[in-house]
Structure 1
Amino acid sequence: MGSKKGKKGILLVNLGTPDSPNTSDVRRYLREFLMDKRVIDISALGRWMLVNLIIAPFRAPKSAKVYQQLWEERGSPLLFYGEDVTKMLQKELGENYVVSLGMRYQNPSLEKALQVLQAKQVNEILVIPMFPQYASATTGSVIDKVMEITKDWQNIPSIKFVSHFLDEPLFINAFAEIGEKYLKEMDFDHVLFSYHGIPERQIKKAAVDNYCQLNEKCCATYHKKNQFCYRAQCFETSRLLAKELSIPEEKYTVAFQSRLGKDPWIQPYTDDVIKELPKQDKKKVLAYSPAFIADCLETTIEVGEEFKEIFEEAGGEHWQLVESLNDHPLWVACLKEIISKNTSH
């Protein structure tokens, strides 16, 4: 019966990674990534000059050294875990589904990933940007690119997008399970939930009825007016995780990392928060990065190593990074549940 109806296409999309940690590949990746108008949302000329005359030439060699620390025998964790999850999910879903993996920037490209589904003549496509919280620069950019590619197809199947999945129970359960092993081993003084930052202007541009004021009050609850506010979604993710882990409100902090440039980004900034924790007698800290579903530069290196160094220099005693979901079975089960909810039966 299912085969007569045609196969369903599942497109998994992550941000992307350089093809190698060599400077030339890192520079190519940075150029494609940062030239995206949703990532650096300034004039086209200003963006071109900033990326090609300043960021790419000077940042690429430094970033390449950091990527070399991240690189494993199988390559970039973000890529090989994506490939593993794609295979695991395909096995779980069976022959009536075609699962394809694409990266918003670099390889495997979204064009090639969509061509796989097109060649199988799927009659519907569910696009899952693998970002738990919606942001214009991540999920929005993926949706934008998929529509740009498919608009030129002669036969366009039904296409549906998953805008976020931060409140999927299995997503929360999976991240909680990974952190629980550390909580059982040690009595931590505090838990830090660190998320990738975005410029404040991007929050304000997308605000409904000017609701988002970028303060604790407007992010204290999650509802219709702030459901697409990235900052509000991060606070909601933290509340759900804390509840699952039985962590009281006073024992965790939400903060934002990886800011770029001089414009204000959403706060509080993770590096500032870290310096204050030991002064508050919070010297054993468990660090989560719930904006990332796979180990990458921002988790393994930034949170796992650079923030640990800042914390210890400030008087901290023990810093423990919670790994990303990677190929955790509950993460695959979560994707299967999302697909069940969003495809025809």
Structure 2
Amino acid sequence: MFFKFRSESMNSGILGKTGVLLVNLGTPDSTSVPDVRKYLRQFLMDRRVIDIPFLSRWFLVNCIIAPFRAPKSAAVYKKVWLAEGSPLKVYGLAVEKLLQEKLGGQYVVKLGMRYQNPSIESALSAFAGRADIGRIIVIPFFPQYASATTGSVHEEVMRIVNQWQIIPDIRFVNSFYDHPGVIRGFADSAQPFLTRDRYEHFVFSYHGLPERQLTKAYVGGHDCEKAGCRKAITAENQHCYLAQSYATTRALVRELNLKEESVTTCFQSRLGKDPWIQPYTEDVVKALAKNGVKSVLAFSPAFVADCLETTEEVGEEYKELFLENGGERWDLVPSLNDKPIWIETLADLVRRSET
């Protein structure tokens, strides 16, 4: 005998509203040294960011990195700070508002930062205990998945909601490195440069990671060279940060109709002496200039909003390095920030997550 089971929630879909949590990395509350030091300590004490034993991490962060790096970082933050505040926060709040308008009243959109303010916990509090919130969709603002970024956001969200009496349906967007809107968005940002000038080379710089984080992400370890991570996305490497980064480059190369020999994918922002994924952006920049390349257009497709790592590191520091070694022109393509195509892309990610 078979029973005909009818679920009202299954037939009619999720009742009530959908909460949308947007999460970016984070930012100091101000450019003061104490605020920057506080931010660095919270950020770098995350076990997914510096994945070494707690006591070693505590000593490294609190006794070496934060005390000595905070004054230098505070000076750099002052260079990128906008009149309204931190670029990540300014763009994040703008996107929160625009996406809310785009999605309408059946959605509640909130921005949270993994580190500092507005916190993930404060953003989630807008959904906690609300009978009219039937589902929460979490979108970390990192196109390529990494344990230190997207993984850390997932862990923090679950740590918080674990304390709730009612935990609604929660869905996470793991990555969106190949979403057509992301690729089109960066390509559109590049068009004014390509229309105005001819470039000899194109550099795609992604945030770096220690090599060990790629290896230990897989049961039994992971070898990017054997898995072909620089060549294609496969079932074996589909979650690999390096594989997703190279896939992003390939998609942009196709979209912009660039010649493969004029493109280099590389990785920036390494910290410490342990080997990070290569090639390092600083080495690529120096080599290009010394080999006679005079003009470069740079992209930072790991960042959906311009920030210290794009505007200052890629836009200024690498430009200075390129010019010092014989280069003549270095331009940086702006990120997605609060552009309409980014809002459209986020809306599409929300709708896809509902199905």
| Structure 1 residues 234 and 3, CA gap change in structure 2 (3 angstroms) | closer
1:203 corresponds in structure 2 to 214
Pair 1:304–1:54, CA change in 2 (3 A) = same
Report the structure number with the largest CA radius of gyration: 2
Q: Percent identity?
A: 56
1:185 to 196, 200, 215: 196
> Within 2, Cα distance between the matches of 1:246 and 1:216?
27
- For 1:215 and 1:70, locate their aligned partners in 2 and report how far apart those are by CA, in whole Å: 40
Distance 1:215 1:187 in 2: 36
Matches within 5 A, 1:101-180: 101-118=111-128, 120-121=130-131, 122-180=133-191
Report Cα offsets for 1:14-38 as digits up to 9, x if no partner: 0000000000000000000000000
Residues 211-231 of structure 1 show CA distances to partners (whole Å, capped at 9, x for unaligned) of: 433589432111111111101
Q: Which moved more, 1:293-302 or 1:272-281?
A: 272-281
1:288-317 Cα deviation digits (max 9, x unpaired): 000000011100000000000000001000
- Matched with 2:42 is 32
User: Which amino acid in the other structure matches residue 318 of structure 2?
Assistant: F
| 8 Å contact kept, 1:212–1:226 | no
Is the Cα–Cα contact under 8 Å of residues 207 and 226 in structure 1 kept in the other structure? no
- With over 3 angstroms needed to count, the CA separation of the structure-2 counterparts of 1:55 and 1:4, relative to structure 1, is closer
Counterpart of 1:304? 315
RMSD: 1.7
| d(CA) in 2 for partners of 1:160, 1:259 | 31
Shift of 1:278: 2.1
Per-residue displacement from partner, 1:303-336 (whole Å, max 9, x unpaired)? 0000000000010000001111101100100001
In structure 2, what is the Cα distance between the partners aligned to 1:336 and 1:215?
37
Residue 313, structure 1, aligned to residue 337, structure 2: no
How has the CA–CA distance of structure 1 residues 74 and 282 changed in structure 2, closer, same or farther, with 3 Å as cutoff?
Answer: same
Q: Does 1:63 align with 2:73?
A: yes
What's the counterpart of residue 223 of structure 2?
A: 212
Structure 2 residue 95 is the aligned partner of structure 1 residue 85: yes
Paired residues of 1:13 and 1:101 also in contact (CA < 8 A): yes
The code of the aligned residue for 1:341 comes to R
5+ long unaligned stretches in structure 1:
none
SS of 2:48's equivalent in the other structure is: coil
Contact conserved, 1:192 with 1:254, CA < 8 A, in 2?
Answer: yes
Pick from 229, 232, 235 the counterpart of residue 224 of structure 1: 235
Paired position in structure 2 for 1:99: 109
Equivalent position amino acid for 1:145 in 2: E
SS at match of 1:331: helix
8 Å Cα contact 1:134/1:163 also seen in 2 = yes
Is residue 2:205 matched to residue 1:194? yes
Query: 1:97/1:58 Cα in 2 relative to 1: closer, same or farther (>3 Å)?
Result: same
Counterpart-to-counterpart distance in 2, 1:141 and 1:78: 18
* Unaligned 5+ runs, structure 2: 1-8
State the Cα deviation string for residues 2-21 of structure 1 (Å, max 9, x = none). 99920001000000000000
Mean alpha-carbon deviation: is it higher for 280-289 or for 130-139? 280-289
Residue equivalent to 1:267: 278
SS at match of 1:101: strand
SS at match of 1:38: coil
**Is the CA contact 2:227–2:236 (under 8 Å) kept in the aligned structure 1?**
no
